[in-house]
Amino acid sequence: MQGIGFILAVGLALIHAFVSKLNVFAFIPEHRWLSFAGGVSIGYVFLEVLPELSHAQEELEHSAIPLMAYLENHVYLLALLGLIIFYGLDIWVLTSRRQNLIANLTTSQGSAVFWIHITAFALLNGIVGYLLQDLGEHSLFQCILFFVAVALHLFIMDEGLREHHKTPYDKKGRWILTAAIIVGAIAGQVFHLNEAAISIIWSFLAGSLILNILKRELPDEQKSCFWSFVGGTLLYTGLLLLI
């Protein structure tokens, strides 16, 4: 299955490039769609992200990295760091936007917030693109399930960033995130890090993924449908258990 990672990277990149042209909510009510996607994402966290963190912990315990020898629960600390950083970034963006609206500040200050926010998510997309190289070791069915979970995640993330930044995101941001996935995938094809380094990168990514899923992909009570959420969770969990 060599090359499948790059193919999936192209597919994921297209979500950022063209998802704004798809009016999904014209076919599926928004509260049902968001709840279903949230259910899939929760299944992904508990059956893929958390077990992968456990595997990464084993890799780091046997690594020769000096600092890791003095820390317990290494990957969980890294995941916590990723979660804290991106939570702080979200709070800062929301606070800055609110202050800009109240004070009617110049667009240059809003632009700085935009570029920092997009750069952070471009880094995440680059990591996702790089880690896709490992999918060559998995079956086609596993690759498809991974693609579905990440695609839904990127779709909702795209909607959130568009809501935050509007025109700048449509004109520049989405193309930067599109390119970041492709650049990461190309880097993954060109050079390979050792297992310990990949575990460190994955752990940091996992923390940000967990935050984004819990914060963005679980809709509030006004935009939620419990049975759609349960359906998404059971469907994705059932498919994973078939592997």
Tokens describing residue 73: 């629960």
Tokens describing residue 53: 């963190």
Using the 8-state DSSP alphabet, how is residue 48 labeled?
A: I
pTM metric for this prediction: 0.84
Closest CA to 120 of 85, 95, 147: 85
Contact 212/24 with Cβ under 8 angstroms?
no
In this prediction, residue 96 has a pLDDT band, given cuts at 50, 70 and 90, of: confident
Share of the chain above pLDDT 70, in %: 84
Q: Is the predicted pLDDT of residue 91 greater than 90, yes or no?
A: no
Q: What is the mean pLDDT of the chain?
A: 82
pLDDT tens track for 4-28: 888 999 999 988 888 766 776 667 7
pLDDT tens track for 175-209: 999 999 999 999 988 888 888 788 888 888 888 88
pLDDT tens track for 23-53: 766 677 777 887 888 889 888 888 888 888 8
| 205 vs 208: CA distance, rounded Å | 5
What was the pLDDT predicted at 15?
84
Closest CA to 124 of 189, 58, 34, 213: 213
What was the pLDDT predicted at 235?
94
In this prediction, residue 109 has a pLDDT band, given cuts at 50, 70 and 90, of: low
| 27 vs 21: CA distance, rounded Å | 14
